[in-house]
Chains A and B, each alone.
Chain A
Amino acid sequence: NAGVTQTPKFQVLKTGQSMTLQCAQDMNHNSMYWYRQDPGMGLRLIYYSASEGTTDKGEVPNGYNVSRLNKREFSLRLESAAPSQTSVYFCASSEMGHQPQHFGDGTRLSIL
């Protein structure tokens, strides 16, 4: 039982390149989330999907797009990467919106 799996674990991009971060969960959860973590800022929500077929903006959605591919998978895309998007990205899932969230191990992304 892997829980929440994120790929890749590390990535270095050049400014202007595009990239998709992948997230999959095997807990049959309905809700999935993408966060970014910057030093001293805690975690900030980028986008979330309350259920399959729906997505909503979080606190910091600019520069990102998401796709809820199916119940298991929720991807995050950077269309034109900027140095300000250098961060650690976490995917999480929960059974419903008001249930415990379970996190993947994160993707460390550097944009030069």
Chain B
Amino acid sequence: GIQVEQSPPDLILQEGANSTLRCNFSDSVNNLQWFHQNPWGQLINLFYIPSGTKQNGRLSATTVATERYSLLYISSSQTTDSGVYFCAVGGGNTPLVFGKGTRLSVIA
């Protein structure tokens, strides 16, 4: 099955800093999603982005499907950005496979 690797596993930022989270995957995909799990455990869908670039406020994502990676950019980070960011991918008709996540801590 598809393998998903996220990096870095942990990241600590000062409030206001920018960051880039990476998701590498082992096979062709037609479904890629980014999620944020907040400190209370809730999972929020950030982007559905099997290819191309999308932006939503301070967050943006880019997927280069031919090179099998996706990037999540967080600009001007805030303490509310803290939590775990998951990348999940799927190919063909297969369901999503989740990476192990990047744990982000933003310090005031």
Interface residues of A, Cβ cutoff 8 Å to B: 33, 35, 40-45, 48, 58-59, 88, 90, 92, 97-103, 105-106
Cβ-defined partner of B42 (8 Å) among A99, A101, A103: A103
> Once the chains are docked, how many angstroms separate the CA of A84 from the CA of B27?
31
* B85-108 interface with A by 8 A CB criterion: 86, 88, 90, 93, 95-101
Establish whether residues A40 and B100, one from each chain, have CB atoms under 8 Å apart when the complex forms.
yes
Top 3 nearest A-B pairs (CB, nearest first) are A103-B43, A42-B98, A100-B48
Establish whether residues A44 and B41, one from each chain, have CB atoms under 8 Å apart when the complex forms.
no
Establish whether residues B45 and A102, one from each chain, have CB atoms under 8 Å apart when the complex forms.
yes
> Once the chains are docked, how many angstroms separate the CA of A69 from the CA of B50?
31
Establish whether residues A101 and B45, one from each chain, have CB atoms under 8 Å apart when the complex forms.
yes
Q: Which residue of A lies closest to B50 (CB)?
A: A98
Establish whether residues A45 and B100, one from each chain, have CB atoms under 8 Å apart when the complex forms.
no
Verify if B26 is at the interface (C-beta below 8 Å from A): no
Verify if B70 is at the interface (C-beta below 8 Å from A): no
Verify if B31 is at the interface (C-beta below 8 Å from A): yes
Establish whether residues B33 and A42, one from each chain, have CB atoms under 8 Å apart when the complex forms.
no
Establish whether residues A48 and B95, one from each chain, have CB atoms under 8 Å apart when the complex forms.
yes
Q: Which residue of A lies closest to B42 (CB)?
A: A105
Establish whether residues B95 and A45, one from each chain, have CB atoms under 8 Å apart when the complex forms.
yes
> Once the chains are docked, how many angstroms separate the CA of A104 from the CA of B108?
30
Q: Could you say which residues of chain B place their CB within 8 Å of the CB of A106?
A: 41-43
- Given A100-B33, A103-B42, check contact A42 B86 (CB 8 Å): yes
B45 → chain A, closest Cβ, in Å?
5
Establish whether residues B41 and A42, one from each chain, have CB atoms under 8 Å apart when the complex forms.
no
Verify if B30 is at the interface (C-beta below 8 Å from A): yes
Establish whether residues A58 and B41, one from each chain, have CB atoms under 8 Å apart when the complex forms.
no
> Once the chains are docked, how many angstroms separate the CA of A72 from the CA of B43?
20
Q: Could you say which residues of chain B place their CB within 8 Å of the CB of A45?
A: 95-97
- Given A40-B100, A42-B99, A42-B100, check contact A97 B93 (CB 8 Å): yes
Establish whether residues B42 and A98, one from each chain, have CB atoms under 8 Å apart when the complex forms.
no
